[in-house]
Amino acid sequence: MCGIAGIIYRDGVAEHDVGSDMTRMLQSMKHRGPDSTGYALYRPQSVDVVMRYKLADANDPRDFEFAQRLARNRAEVERRLRLAGAEIDDVRADTEYAYRVKLRYDGDLKRIADLVEAVPHCEVLSLGHALEIVKDLGDAETVAAQYHLGGVRGTHGIGHVRMATESDVDISGAHPYWAYPFSDVAVVHNGQLTNYFHWRRRLERAGNRFNSECDSEIIAVYLAEKLAGGATLEDAMHQSLDELDGVFTYVCVTADALGVAKDELAAKPLVLYESDDLVALASEEIAIRAVIDREIETYDPYEREVLVWTR
Give catalytic residue positions.
2
Strands annotated E in the chain: 3-9, 36-42, 49-54, 87-93, 98-104, 123-128, 131-137, 156-162, 177-178, 186-193, 246-253, 257-262, 271-274, 278-282, 305-310
Establish whether the linkage from the previous residue to 176 is cis, with ω within 30° of 0. Answer: yes
What residues contact residue 116 under an 8 Å CB cut-off, 6+ apart?
51, 53, 77, 80, 81, 122, 124
CA-based nearest residue to 150, from 9, 287, 16 = 16
Interatomic CA distance for residues 199 and 187, integer angstroms: 16
- Is 49 in contact with 127 (CB distance < 8 Å)? yes
